[in-house]
Amino acid sequence: MGKDVIIACDFADKKACLNFLDKFEGKKPFVKIGMELFYAEGPEIVREIKARGHKIFLDLKLHDIPNTVKKSMAVLSRLDVDMCNLHAAGTAAMMTAAIEGLTRADGTRPLLIAVTQLTSTSEEAMHKDMHYAKNAKCAGLDGVVCSPLEAAAVHNACGEGFLTVTPGIRFADGDKGDQSRVTTPAKAKELGSDYIVVGRPITAAADPVEAYERCVREFVG
């Protein structure tokens, strides 16, 4: 599986999101839809962006009892997203139930990854990452969301095929914002990230398309 840049479309509403995507004429970047946009617009925003030809990472971080997560994942699977996630702090039973819910009648399903720690979390809280990653691997998940700084360790513990999806990406000449553990796209590549999730360095850039293309150059090559 090749490396890819995922744009975090953390917009307040459909209009702002689609106006942003309209800038990418002829390009179909992989995008992340998070809680703010999904709660504002509902499943229809997923359908509309998918119909435009974009891959979608639906970032809702499910965490509940196994049956609730299973039923919720079954609904999300029908939206034809490419990746979704849950909290690694959930039980193994919850993660197994999530896979069951995501799996369609034909045996296909979106990628399912687990959130280990949020990138606003301090260094001291990171010791749980490997424990969470190993639990996710044992439950049959495809990978984890983690800091780029943990990507190599996750691959060492769980195998090269176990995906690392890494937010906390900033350009070398940019502001790190509220993220406490950040790297550049080039450094994330060096550290072994499979996907980088990039928000404000692209969405708030004077030229978002150029910023996206810069990310692709630095991370994918």
Residue 221: per-residue pLDDT: 84
Where does residue 206 rank: exposed (0-12), middle (13-18), buried (19+ CB within 10 A)? exposed
Whether the pLDDT of residue 198 is over 60: the answer is yes
pLDDT band at 129 (very low <50, low <70, confident <90, very high): confident
Q: Which residue has the higher pLDDT, 128 or 126?
A: 128
Residue whose entry in the numeric block shows the structure tokens 């990746």: 83
Averaged pLDDT, 176-193: 81
Averaged pLDDT, 66-85: 97
| DSSP label of 117 | S
Q: Which two tokens stand for residue 130?
A: 């490997």
Averaged pLDDT, 85-92: 93
Amino acid, single-letter form, for residue 162: F
Whether the pLDDT of residue 50 is over 60: the answer is yes
Amino acid, single-letter form, for residue 172: A
Whether the pLDDT of residue 167 is over 50: the answer is yes
Averaged pLDDT, 119-144: 78
pLDDT band at 127 (very low <50, low <70, confident <90, very high): low
Whether the pLDDT of residue 128 is over 80: the answer is no
**What is the set of active-site residues?**
61
Residue 152: per-residue pLDDT: 94
Residue 174: per-residue pLDDT: 65
Averaged pLDDT, 116-131: 62
| DSSP label of 37 | H
Whether the pLDDT of residue 180 is over 60: the answer is no
Whether the pLDDT of residue 120 is over 50: the answer is no
